[in-house]
Amino acid sequence: MDNTIEKYMTDHQFLEADKKKIRDHLRLQRHDRAYLTRTDLHYFDGDLHSIVPRSMLGLQDNFT
């Protein structure tokens, strides 16, 4: 997985359970290029840019 996502999750104090959900989702979908924002997980499949809302992944809002 992209280290940028790991850093983002650490910097924004994601819960360990939420980190696992994101890692599992990206691993299952086999997307190499991805990034997180406050509201969405973005990833690319070839030229297709897909967005998954945080709520669809079941993530907590843990922003300070």
Q: What is the pLDDT of residue 32?
A: 63
Mind listing the pLDDT tens digit of every residue in the chain (64 residues)?
568 888 888 888 888 988 888 888 878 777 667 888 878 888 887 777 888 887 777 776 665 4
User: What is the chain's Cα-based Rg?
Assistant: 11
Within 10 angstroms of residue 32's Cβ, the number of other Cβ atoms is 10
Report DSSP letters for 7-54, one per residue.
HHHHHTT--HHHHHHHHHHHHHHT-SEEEE-SSEEEEEETTEEEEEEH
**pLDDT score at 2:** 63
62 three-state secondary structure: coil
Report the predicted TM-score, pTM, of the whole model to 2 decimal places: 0.63
